[in-house]
Amino acid sequence: MGIKKHILVIPGDGIGPEVTTWGKAVLEQIGRDFGHEFTFDEAIMGHVAIEATGNPLPDETLAKAKASDAILFGAVGHAKYDNDPSAKVRPEQGLLKIRKELGLYANLRPIMLFDELLNASSLKPEILKGTDILFFRELTGDVYFGEKKRTTDFASDLMNYNRYEVERIARKAYEAARLRGKRLCSVDKANVLETSRLWREVVQEIAKEYPDVETEHMFIDNAAMQLVKNPKKFDVVVTANLFGDILTDEASQIAGSMGMLASASIGDGTGFFEPIHGSAHDIAGQDKANPLASILSVALLLEISFGLKEEAKRITSAIDKALKAGYRTGDIADSNTDKSKILGTKAMGSKIVEML
What is the spatial distance between Cα 295 and Cα 37, in angstroms, rounded to a whole number?
A: 18
For helices 91-101 and 59-66, the axis angle rounded to 10 degrees is 40
Residue 41 has a pLDDT of 98
Residue 82 has a pLDDT of 78
Residue 182, H or E segment:
none
What is the spatial distance between Cα 177 and Cα 236, in angstroms, rounded to a whole number?
A: 6
Would you give the DSSP letter of residue 203?
H
Residue 1 has a pLDDT of 84
Residue 194 has a pLDDT of 98
Residue 84 has a pLDDT of 81
Buried b (16+ CB within 10 A) or exposed e, 338-354: eeeebbbbeebbebbbe
Contact 10, 43 (CB under 8 A): yes
pTM of the model: 0.90
Burial class (CB in 10 A: 0-12, 13-18, 19+), 16: buried
Residue 133 has a pLDDT of 96
Cβ neighbours, 10 Å, residue 194: 10
Pairing of the two strands 236-239 and 132-138: parallel
Residue 318 has a pLDDT of 98
* pLDDT by 10-residue block (mean), the chain, 356 residues: 96 97 98 98 97 97 98 94 84 90 95 88 90 95 92 96 97 94 98 98 98 98 97 97 94 82 94 94 95 97 94 97 95 90 97 97
Cβ neighbours, 10 Å, residue 219: 16
Give the neighbor-by-neighbor strand order of the sheet with 271-275.
Answer: 37-42, 4-12, 70-75, 271-275, 262-266, 106-112, 132-138, 236-239, 183-188, 214-219
What is the spatial distance between Cα 208 and Cα 327, in angstroms, rounded to a whole number?
A: 46
What is the spatial distance between Cα 72 and Cα 38, in angstroms, rounded to a whole number?
A: 13
- Name all domains of the chain by residue range, CATH numbers in brackets: 1-114+257-356 (3.40.718.10), 122-254 (3.40.718.10)
Residue 11, H or E segment:
strand 4-12
Catalytic residues: 144, 189, 221, 245, 249
Percentages helix, strand, coil for the chain (3-state, rounded to 5) are 50, 20, 30
The CA–CA distances, whole Å, from 307 to 273, 304, 311, 326 equal 14, 6, 9, 31
Name 352's Cβ contacts closer than 8 Å, sequence gap at least 6.
22, 26, 291, 292, 295, 315, 318, 319, 322
Handedness of CA 9, 12, 18, 23 (dihedral sign): negative
Per residue in 208-239, pLDDT (tens digit) is 999 999 999 999 999 999 999 999 999 999 99
